[in-house]
């Protein structure tokens, strides 16, 4: 009997969501749906449901390091995605490990605050994120509040948004997907910036609040890169994937948020 062809391995380094909608759980579902083998290094464990986050446990650094070592020492890893890292020491550790292990592709989702309002990254971790992790990223995926926090000023006009893309690129990422979901309007405009310019991705705003959309988007981009897509193509396809998954989303708990159907 011949073996089934081996799919590429993709690693997520992120937080776990006990409610199964965001974080590691969303990442692994997304990887599976994209035909790649998902690996995980859990950096934080949240106690969470569709109503919000009730507790966060930061995984000890030694154990984050040993999870990363365990997977890199055994699997050829085609792409890595980072999500919720929780604190500055974890961001520094993850950056150090990635500098050492040099994955071909890195997608950094600079997770800071959940839609429910819970803080998922300590305020004093911003320097480590900007100086150590973001310069390693091939694709950085901030939403508007995250971009404002990274740049230290509000983003309102289209001129400011365009300049923000350039300013974020100057932090050292290869490409920046500035997600427009937090702006108002019937249409969501995401903007992707890289050295060859920018592209806009427009889609109708769905009349529902998604949970885990950012995690899913970054993971879908990482899976696309692992499967040989170029960054612009991976970004375009991942955006369409999230739209579809949100359109078919469902409400598994008592809260108002929709979980994506992968
Ligand atoms: N929980 C974890 C572990 C996450 O990584 C994230 C987002 O990245 C969230 C919750 C928040 O998800 P959302 O803002 O989509 O509700």
- Number of Cβ within 10 Å of residue 185's Cβ equals 8
Instruction: Give me ligand 1 centre to Cα 14, in Å.
Output: 10
Q: 9-250 maps to which CATH number?
A: 3.40.1190.20
Query: How many whole angstroms separate alpha carbon 201 and alpha carbon 190?
Result: 5
Instruction: Give me ligand 1 centre to Cα 114, in Å.
Output: 5
Kindly state if the Cβ of 82 falls inside 6 Å of ligand 1: no
Instruction: Give me ligand 1 centre to Cα 45, in Å.
Output: 11
Query: How many whole angstroms separate alpha carbon 193 and alpha carbon 201?
Result: 11
Per-residue pLDDT of the chain (262 residues; tens, 9 = 90+): 778 889 999 999 999 999 999 999 999 999 999 999 999 999 999 999 999 999 999 999 999 999 999 999 999 999 999 999 999 999 999 999 999 999 999 999 999 999 888 999 999 999 999 999 999 999 999 999 999 999 999 998 888 988 999 999 999 999 999 999 888 888 999 999 999 999 999 999 988 889 999 999 999 999 999 999 999 999 999 999 999 999 999 999 999 999 999 9
Query: How many whole angstroms separate alpha carbon 178 and alpha carbon 148?
Result: 11
| Residue 196: half-sphere exposure toward Cβ, Cα within 13 Å | 3
Kindly state if the Cβ of 129 falls inside 6 Å of ligand 1: no
Supply the DSSP symbol for 157: S
ipTM: 0.94
Instruction: Give me ligand 1 centre to Cα 212, in Å.
Output: 5
What is the pTM assigned to this prediction? 0.97
Atom of ligand 1 nearest to the CA of 17: 3
Greatest Cα pair distance, the chain, in angstroms, is 60
Query: How many whole angstroms separate alpha carbon 256 and alpha carbon 259?
Result: 10
Kindly state if the Cβ of 15 falls inside 6 Å of ligand 1: yes
Supply the DSSP symbol for 256: S
- Number of Cβ within 10 Å of residue 237's Cβ equals 16
Q: From 84, 78, 83, select the one nearest 224 (Cα to Cα).
A: 78
């Amino acid at each position: 009997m011949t073996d089934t062809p081996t799919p590429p391995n993709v690693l997520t380094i992120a937080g776990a969501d006990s409610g199964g909608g965001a974080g590691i759980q969303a990442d692994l579902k997304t990887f599976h749906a994209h035909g790649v083998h998902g690996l995980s290094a859990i950096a934080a464990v949240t106690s969470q449901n569709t109503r919000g986050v009730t507790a966060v446990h930061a995984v000890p650094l030694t154990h984050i390091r040993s999870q990363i070592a365990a997977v890199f020492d055994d699997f050829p890893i085609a792409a890595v995605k980072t999500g919720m890292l929780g604190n500055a020491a974890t961001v520094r550790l993850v950056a150090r490990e990635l500098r050492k292990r040099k994955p071909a592709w890195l997608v950094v989702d600079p997770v800071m605050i959940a839609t429910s309002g819970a803080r998922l990254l300590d305020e004093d971790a911003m320097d480590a994120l900007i100086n150590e992790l973001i310069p390693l990223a091939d694709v950085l995926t901030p939403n508007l509040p995250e971009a404002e926090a990274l740049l230290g000023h509000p983003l309102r006009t289209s001129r400011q948004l365009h300049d923000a893309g350039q300013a974020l690129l100057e932090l050292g990422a290869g490409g920046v997907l500035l997600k427009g979901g937090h702006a108002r309007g019937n249409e969501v405009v995401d903007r992707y910036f890289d050295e060859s310019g920018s592209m806009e991705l427009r889609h109708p705003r769905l009349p529902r609040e998604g949970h885990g959309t950012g995690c899913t988007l970054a993971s879908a981009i990482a899976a696309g890169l692992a499967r040989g897509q170029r960054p612009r193509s991976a970004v375009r396809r991942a955006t369409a994937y999230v739209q579809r998954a949100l359109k078919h989303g469902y409400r598994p708990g008592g809260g108002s948020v929709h979980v994506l159907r992968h």
